[in-house]
Chains A and B, each alone.
Chain A
Amino acid sequence: MDKKTVTTISYLSRLKIDSEKEHKIVKDLDNIIKFVDQLNGVDTSSIEPLTNPLEKTAKTRKDEVTAKNLKKELLEVAPSANEDYFLVPRVVE
């Protein structure tokens, strides 16, 4: 874990690291990664990853429209919107 990696993952995460905190954050992240590196010593060949403790399969829905029109409520909680759309600064394609 070095400065360059931290720059890359901060961009992926859309986070900015303050320059005065950068040194500590790089060090903290490096320590955490070193700490979890102890997993490398475990033999996990032929072990299936466990992504959810419920080793079950999903219930599904029927194809039915159940939603109500929430336009007003949803646009009201938005940080920026007009009567019809959520608004963000112009995106240039």
Chain B
Amino acid sequence: MSWETVIGLEIHAQLSTKSKLFSGGSTEFGAESNTHVDLVDMGLPGVLPVANKEAFYKAIRFGLATGAEINQVSSFDRKNYFYPDLPKGYQITQMTKPIVEKGSIKVLTDEGEKVINITRAHLEEDAGKSIHDLFEGETGVDLNRAGTPLLEIVSEPEISSAKEAVAYFKAIRQLVTFLDICDGNMAQGSMRCDVNVSIKKSGDKGLGTRAELKNINSFKFIEKAINYEIERQIRVIENGESVVQETRLYDSDKNETRSMRSKEEANDYRYFPCPDLLPVVISDKELQEIKDNLPELPEEKENRYISEIGLEESEAKIISSSKTMANMFEEASSKTDDIKLVAKWLVGDISALLNKDNIEIDESNLSPENFGKLIERISDNTISGKIAKSVLEEVWENGSDVDEIIQTKGLIQIKDESLLEDIARKVIDSNSDQVASYKSGKEKLFGFFVGQVMKETQGKANPKSVNEILKKLLK
């Protein structure tokens, strides 16, 4: 029997506002516990929420970038459930009238480009954090995160494999970081996702019963959790049982999903319009302003790099794959006339280092500014390409400043032609045999002389000058 997989993703992206969705509490990550808790975040008796307009603007950017409908009148609802890190006993979310509906995004899969439709993207408040393993017999609650604005991006169930789910998540992450609405930091939980997985017999029209995998926060785990879940569901059905609609927790230590049914028992969220919040209206003028100030999107960047700058399609794709990469490219391009050189470094050495370490560019020690400096020093002949490689390796290790490395290690290229000529003469004088062979027609030996000069100068000689000088002396 062959099976088809149907996957839908609910991605929670923390919007990068300064203050919370309904209070003036700070959203800063990593602060001391319970120090960013306003009276409103605490859910004290008598407090009232006031919506942060910037969260709407950020959500709208996402909507515009995915070709979605923007609901200029949107409203809030309450989702009722009890949990210690949910201070009010309900979460304020947008159930009936979300700010964004019906968008789509292009995703690169093994079979080529595929469009995944986005059902909706709505605003809601994040919960606080429960800390289960710090205290004997007790759970600690930190409400710093409570009330942080989230954009919940809900896809249609159109994703057909774990790999495709990861590609979709990556595309969304790329987009929200380009739009500057979310920092995309998965380790800090700025992006998390719930995955709905079901299987059906190949060719069946309807959908199978789905399981929801909760709160997964890395690409690797998304893929593993989905693949585990697909196999589990196939096993269940092939054993003649049926899949239960339930929430399952992915345990990355054991690489398995397990039922959270006990918690979900009889859960009924009793959504209803939040009576404390009137509908929020976005005026035509506000919408136009957001449209006018929308940053360049990955696809637009890629096209511009090809048509205006003349990059190869493959180069343009890699460079526009993340906001940091594109920033590096644009920062460094402003420091040199040789834009091809910049592309060559990003697609070559830097991509190789990323692959080797299996990290994303924004996880590396290299900043766009530092990369710009590196390119600048190559272009102004301060250092040679070869030296640049060793400088890059050091930056990659510890993030040191490019100029500092060049200074402290004395890596500045020797530009003094008379000094180079002296060294070249010395090389020629002490290698008379090779000179004789060369002069008798063994022109391949030219490289040997270049190598000797470079060795004498510890690589700091400008190769072009060395060439010219040697040619002249060996005539």
Is A24 in contact with chain B by the CB < 8 A criterion?
no
Q: Is B108 an interface residue (CB 8 A)?
A: no
Residues of A within 8 A of B138 (CB): 87-90
Contact with A along B27-55 (1 / 0, CB 8 A): 00000111111110110000000111111
Q: Across the interface, which residues of A come within 8 angstroms of B216, CB to CB?
A: none
The answer to whether A91 touches B84 (Cβ under 8 A) is: yes
Q: Is the CB of B132 within 8 A of A90?
A: yes
Residue B23 interfacial (CB < 8 Å): yes
B140 touches A82 (CB 8 A): yes
A65 interfacial by beta-carbon distance below 8 Å:
yes
Contact A63 B52, beta carbon cutoff 8 Å: yes
Q: Are B17's CB and A67's CB within 8 A?
A: no
Contact with B along A30-68 (1 / 0, CB 8 A): 000000000000000000010110101111111111110
Of chain B, the residue at the smallest CB distance from A88 is: B84
Instruction: Look across to chain B and name the residue whose beta carbon is closest to the beta carbon of A12.
Output: B268
A57 B73 Cβ-Cβ under 8 A: yes
Is there contact, CB below 8 Å, between B280 and A60?
yes
For chain B, residues 92 to 148, give those with C-beta under 8 angstroms from any C-beta of chain A: 130-132, 134-135, 137-143
Residues of B within 8 A of A8 (CB): 266, 268
In the complex, A23 Cα to B321 Cα: how many Å? 65
Q: Which residues of B contact A12 (CB under 8 A)?
A: 80, 266, 268, 270
- The distance from the CB of B234 to the nearest CB of chain A, in whole angstroms, is 26
Binary contact readout B4-34 vs A (1 if CB under 8 angstroms, 0 otherwise): 0000000000000111000111100000111
Contact with A67, one of B37, B52, B279 (Cβ below 8 angstroms): B37
Chain B residues whose C-beta falls within 8 Å of the C-beta of A57 in the assembled complex: 73, 278-281
Give complex CA distance A74, B42 in Å. 8
Q: How far is the CA of A7 from the CA of B26 in the complex (A)?
A: 41
A contact residues, total (Cβ < 8 Å): 36
B42 and A87 within 8 A (CB): no
Q: Write out the residue numbers on chain A whose beta carbons fall within 8 Å of the beta carbon of B80.
A: 12
B266 / chain A contacts, CB cutoff of 8 Å: 8, 11-12
Q: Does A71 count as interface, using CB distance less than 8 angstroms?
A: yes
Q: Which of A58, A71, A85 has a CB less than 8 Å from the CB of B279?
A: A58
User: How far apart sit A59 and B50, CA to CA, in the bound complex (Å)?
Assistant: 8
- Which residues of chain A are within 8 angstroms of B84 by Cβ–Cβ distance? 86, 88, 91
Which residue in chain A gives the minimum CB-CB distance to B85?
A86
Which A residues are in CB contact (< 8 Å) with B270?
Answer: 12
Q: Assuming the A-B contacts A60-B52, A60-B53, A90-B132, are A71 and B280 also in contact, with contact meaning beta carbons closer than 8 angstroms in the complex?
A: no
- Cβ B275 vs Cβ A87 within 8 A: no
Helix, strand, loop or mixed for chain A's interface?
loop
Tell me how far the C-beta of A7 lies from the nearest C-beta in chain B, rounded to whole angstroms: 9
Q: Which of A51, A65, A87, A92 contacts B19 (CB 8 A)?
A: A65
Task: Tell whether, in the assembled complex, residue A74 and residue B37 are in contact, meaning their CB atoms are under 8 Å apart.
Answer: yes
Q: How far is the CA of A93 from the CA of B39 in the complex (A)?
A: 28
Whether A66 lies near B24 (C-beta < 8 A) is yes
B25 contacts which of A67, A75, A88 (Cβ < 8 Å)?
Answer: A67
Is A67 a contact partner of B24 (Cβ separation < 8 A)? yes
Residues of B within 8 A of A51 (CB): 273, 275
User: Please, which residues of chain A bring their CB within 8 A of the CB of B38?
Assistant: 66-67, 70
Complex alpha-carbon distance, A77 and B281, angstroms: 37
Complex Cα spacing A89 to B140, Å: 9
Contact of B50 among A52, A61, A93 (CB under 8 A): A61
Smallest Cβ-Cβ distance to A68: which chain B residue: B38
Known: A57-B73, A58-B278, A67-B25. A84 touches B36 (CB 8 A): no
Query: How far in angstroms is the closest Cβ of chain A from B36?
Result: 7
In angstroms, how far is the closest chain A Cβ from the Cβ of B261? Answer: 13
Contacts of B277 in A (CB 8 A): 58
**Chain A neighbourhood of B34, CB < 8 A:** 71, 74-75, 84-86
Give, as a whole number of angstroms, the nearest-CB distance from A46 to chain B.
Answer: 18
Residues of B with C-beta under 8 A to A54:
278
Q: List 27 A-B contacts (CB under 8 A).
A: A8-B266, A12-B80, A51-B273, A58-B281, A60-B56, A62-B54, A63-B17, A63-B52, A63-B53, A64-B18, A66-B24, A66-B38, A67-B36, A67-B41, A70-B39, A74-B42, A84-B140, A85-B33, A85-B131, A85-B142, A87-B140, A88-B138, A88-B141, A89-B137, A91-B132, A92-B132, A93-B132
- Interface residues of chain B, those whose CB is within 8 Å of chain A, are 17-19, 23-26, 32-39, 41-42, 50-56, 73, 80, 82, 84, 130-132, 134-135, 137-143, 249, 266, 268, 270, 273, 275, 277-281
**Apart from A62-B52, A70-B38: 16 A-B pairs, beta carbons within 8 A:** A51-B273, A56-B278, A58-B51, A58-B281, A61-B53, A64-B24, A67-B23, A82-B135, A82-B140, A86-B34, A87-B138, A88-B84, A88-B138, A88-B141, A90-B138, A93-B249
Chain A residues within 8 Å of B, Cβ to Cβ: 8, 11-12, 14, 49, 51-52, 54, 56-67, 69-71, 74-75, 82, 84-93
